[in-house]
Each structure stands twice: as C-alpha cells, then as structure tokens.
C-alpha cells in the first residue's frame, strides 16, 4: 500500500491556529503575572508592608476622621478613599472584609465619622448600615440648674461636662439678658439657657450648642410683654428670677399664675419670699430632708429680703409668662395640700395655718 502525503492545509487555517496559540500564551502570561501580583500583595499585607497596596504609613490610630463616600463608588473606590484617609491600613484588607460578608453591593454612600486604623470588618459594617444622620436631637428639660443642664448635654452630645463648662465660662457664649463678669461662675449663667428640644449638627462644638440655648432664652424673654413688671422698677432679668422660682415650686401647671401672684404680692407688701426651693438651692441639694432655713446664703429667702441674686433653675416659657402676668389675687401664702403637688393658698396667716394643719391630717406634711 502506498502512503501518500496528506494534503497541505489551506493558508487561512494555519493563520488561525497560530493566532490561537499566541492568545493562549498571552493569557497564561496574564494569569501568572496576576497571580504573582495578588500573591505578592497578600504576602505584603501579611508581613505588614504598608506600601504593598498604597496604604498609609505612620498613621496614629484612634484619631477621628470624617470621610465622604460619593454616590456610585465601587468597592475599590471606597477602599482607596479609606486608605487615603487612614481609616484602614490596606485596601486589600478592606476588599477581603467586604468579600467575607458578601457586602459588595450593600455599601452605602454618604458622610461617615470614622477613626484611623479601624478594623476593616467594623468599617464594612458601618458602610452597610449607612451614614449616621448629620443632625441629632437633644431635649433639655425645664427646671434644671445650670450644672444639671451641662451634665445632660454632656450625656447626649459626646462632649464632656468640663468642655461645656470651659465654653460657658471662657467668653465664647454671650447673652444680652445680663452682664456676665470676666471671672464668671456657673451661677452667673443660671436661668439663661432655655430648656427645649433642639437639633444640632454633629459638627457643632460646645460653644455653638450653648449659644443656641442662650440665644433662644433671649428670644423667649423678648417675646413676652414685661411692661407691667418693668413699671414696678424691675428688669427682665429679675423677671427670669421670678420665673425660675415658679418653675421650681409648681408641679400643677394651672397654678403658675397663682404662685406668681403670691411672689408679686409679697414683693409689694413687702414680705420675705420664704420659698423653700431657694434654700435647697443655697444648700446645693434637692433633698428636702436636708432643708435648713437658717443656712447663711444670699439665696436663702427666709433670711434675706427681696429676690435671690440669680435664677435658681431654667424656667419654661409658661413660667416666664406667669412671671410677667400673675393672676389677680390677695394670696400671700401657699402650702402643699396633695401628693400630686397642688397647693392650698391663703390671704392671711391664720388661714395659712389651718391649711398646714389640714395637710398634716391628710398625711401630706409630716
């Protein structure tokens, strides 16, 4: 049998084969190079090589940093932003943390408050949850003393009590309601910060927060007609003092104008105010068991004529209005008559004594 040579393939077939071989060789090269690059980055990260993927060098951990993640950012984009801001040491570590929880399509754009060199898993969790609101609400309740207000603000803002004290006494906060001395004490600011619910930017510093409360008190006081009060020779600031007494004494809202009338009537008589709340303020307590009407203090209205030198709490608008517009009564006395906080009022001392005896029989007073 004669073997004949196979017919030579057409030239176009030979060209196609050569191209296919070339493509395979190139692809293999990419795989080798890419694998080596990935391996190199992985080893570099494991060995702590910060420069393996462009990570930051010499970043102090735990420092606050605000990071903006633009809408449409890919995981790689976000990794690069985080590294550039020092939030994570390595973009590769971040990408691996994203893959570990399959979160590539759950990362949310927005403004974040991070710290430097965080655990990548924590960063991913934050990005999945989404950015915290840029503003937050703080409610400061009425009737608090200035120290109590600063404590409440510290608990709700993340700043310390001392940071609020420094801002208030350092001249950064101003008010038109009275002149604050250069060597101011906290008591000089008593009653000048308005209790309310506020919205603050998360970037607002203590001075800005306190200025908002001080400016709101200015606005509330100026919105009230103090004409009748000022015609008696008193100032708006002294009106705030009266309002603070009302706020500290009253538990039943409709009694505010009546208690105000007692204060006005005693000032006009004149009689000492003899308000228990001023004694507790002088003693620096709210514990009625420590009540001592003989305490030596300008705030003790059992021993001193007229109003105390400053407010004793932060009055609400209702108490400010009651101070400016008291009820028309002849009452000079009041005493607690019920555990709900309501009072019995009297125009004479004898009537007042009968009210006290009745309160004792009812078990309201000891």
Where in 29-160 does DSSP place strands (E)? Answer: 64-69, 110-115, 135-139
Spatial contact of 143 and 247, defined as CB atoms under 8 Å apart = yes
Spatial contact of 322 and 243, defined as CB atoms under 8 Å apart = yes
Neighbours of 47 (CB within 10 A): 8
Looking at residue 181, the DSSP 8-state letter turns out to be P
Spatial contact of 98 and 123, defined as CB atoms under 8 Å apart = no
What mean pLDDT comes out for the span 91-97? Answer: 95
In the prediction, which pLDDT does 16 show? 46
In the prediction, which pLDDT does 17 show? 55
Mean pLDDT of the chain: 87
Spatial contact of 65 and 59, defined as CB atoms under 8 Å apart = no
CA distance 169 to 228: 33
Residue 63 φ/ψ, nearest 5 degrees? -85, 135
In the prediction, which pLDDT does 215 show? 97
The share of the chain scoring above pLDDT 90, in percent, equals 78
What mean pLDDT comes out for the span 38-46? Answer: 41
The share of the chain scoring above pLDDT 70, in percent, equals 84
CA distance 213 to 227: 25
In the chain, the domains with their CATH numbers are 56-129 (3.30.1490.480), 135-222 (no CATH), 227-331 (no CATH)
Residue 211 φ/ψ, nearest 5 degrees? -65, -35
* Structure-model confidence comparison of residues 34 and 286, the more confident one: 286
pTM, full prediction? 0.69
| 191 confidence band (pLDDT: 50, 70, 90) | very high
In the prediction, which pLDDT does 272 show? 98
């Amino acid at each position: 049998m004669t073997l004949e040579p196979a017919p030579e393939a057409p030239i176009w077939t030979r060209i196609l084969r050569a191209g296919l071989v070339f493509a395979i060789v190139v692809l293999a090269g990419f795989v080798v190079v890419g694998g080596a690059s990935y391996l190199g980055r992985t080893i570099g990260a494991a060995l702590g090589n910060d420069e393996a993927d462009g990570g930051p060098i010499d970043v102090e951990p735990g420092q606050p940093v605000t990071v903006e993640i633009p809408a449409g950012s890919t995981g790689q984009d976000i990794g690069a932003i985080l590294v550039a801001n020092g939030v994570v040491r390595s973009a590769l570590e971040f990408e691996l943390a994203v893959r570990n929880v399959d979160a590539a399509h759950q990362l949310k754009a927005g403004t974040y408050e991070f710290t430097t060199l965080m655990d990548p898993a924590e960063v991913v969790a934050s990005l999945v949850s989404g950015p915290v609101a840029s503003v937050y609400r703080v409610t400061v309740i009425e009737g608090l003393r200035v120290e109590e207000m600063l404590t409440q603000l510290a608990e709700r803002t993340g700043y310390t009590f001392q940071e609020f004290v420094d801002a208030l006494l350092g001249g950064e906060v101003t008010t038109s309601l009275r002149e604050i001395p250069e060597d101011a004490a906290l008591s000089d600011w008593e009653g000048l910060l308005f209790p309310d619910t506020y919205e603050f930017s998360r970037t607002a510093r203590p001075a800005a927060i306190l200025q908002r409360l001080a400016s709101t008190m200015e606005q509330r006081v100026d919105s009230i007609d103090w004409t009748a009060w000022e015609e008696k020779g008193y100032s708006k600031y002294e009106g705030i003092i009266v309002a603070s007494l009302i706020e500290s004494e009253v538990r039943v809202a409709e009694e505010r104008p009546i208690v105000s009338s007692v204060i006005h009537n005693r000032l006009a008589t004149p009689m000492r105010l003899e308000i228990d709340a001023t004694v507790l303020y002088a003693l620096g307590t709210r514990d009625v068991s420590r009540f001592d009407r003989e305490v030596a203090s300008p705030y003790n209205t059992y021993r001193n004529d007229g109003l105390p030198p400053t407010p004793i709490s932060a009055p609400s608008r209702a108490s400010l209005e009651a101070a400016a517009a008291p009820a028309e009564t002849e009452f000079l006395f009041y005493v607690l008559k019920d555990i709900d906080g309501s009072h019995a009022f009297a125009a004479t001392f004898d009537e007042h004594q009968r009210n006290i005896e009745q309160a004792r029989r009812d078990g309201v007073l000891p």
